[in-house]
Amino acid sequence: MPKTALSLESWRVLRIQGEFVEAIDALCNLPPAVTVFGSARLPEDNPHYISAVECGKLLVVAGYAVITGGGPGIMEAANKGAFEQNGTSVGLNISLPKEQNANPYQTLELDFRYFFIRKVMFVKYARGFVIYPGGFGTLDEFFESLTLIQTLKIQPFPVVLVGRDFWGSLVDWMRTMLAEQFETIGPDDLDLFSLVDTPEEAVKIIDDHYTGRKKVGENLPRFETDEDEPTGEGTRLGVPPKRPQRS
């Protein structure tokens, strides 16, 4: 690789650092927030869009800021509900080869070049996830949140799927194939998320957890040093990997 190309590659780190700094500076003073995910393709007359508007309103009434990806569809709906309730309505927009249309209901807008930085911000400032029907991106966020909670890299928080009509078959597949037939997850891992049909149920699960009435992930093991060695990056320190002894 030519030296000039190597130089450009190393300078890219500063661009990444700058995007992290800008995002953290903008979001660090947010009130308790909940991230809402879902498809950009669902129109205003879709029942899940209507539900997400109500979810945004209920979250603000309960004292939460609302974070979305800033686009149309479910993202727009949740931002709209929060905006109409005079709440904090955050949009974490992403630059894409095919331009994303930012919705007009954001009181705080950020633009990201990098997906991975945006994904950190979705988690770092969230007290919970509410996940409506969506495509690959929505599924990605769902499974990433479960991975972080399962591996104890973040403090457990509520992950709530809204819409049994959409999510029911996936949950059944996870139970029969992952937990029972192949045993690639444990039965308790299915307790890391909830499946509901209404925004009222979703907000109640999150608020019950945040206020201490009913915690999620109570049966998860805890690292002995976890409370003594917190990190500020949105994840928990944990313990180093064990390596085989060499003679």
Per-residue model confidence (pLDDT) at position 216: 78
pLDDT at 226 over 80: no
Q: Kindly report the CATH number that applies to the domain delimited by 29-210.
A: 3.40.50.450
Instruction: Tell me what pLDDT residue 242 has.
Output: 73
> Hey, how many other C-beta atoms are within 10 angstroms of the C-beta on 9?
10
pLDDT band at 247 (very low <50, low <70, confident <90, very high): low
The sign one gets for the Cα dihedral 17, 66, 134, 205 is positive
Domain ranges of the chain: 29-210
What does the buried/exposed string (b/e) look like for 158-196 if buried means 16 or more CB atoms within 10 Å of the residue's CB?
bbbbbbeebbeeeeeebeeebbeeeeebeeebeebbbbb
Band of the pLDDT at 214, cuts 50, 70, 90? confident
Instruction: Give the tens place of pLDDT for each residue, 6-62.
Output: 667 888 899 999 999 999 999 999 999 999 999 999 999 999 999 999 999 999 999
* Calpha distance 195→224 (Å, rounded): 31
- Whole-angstrom distance, CA of residue 122 vs CA of residue 182: 31
Query: What DSSP letter does each residue of 113-164 carry, written as one string?
Result: S-HHHHHHHHHHTEEEEEE-S--HHHHHHHHHHHHHHHTTSS----EEEE-H
Structure tokens at 39: 């498809």
For residue 71, is pLDDT > 90?
yes
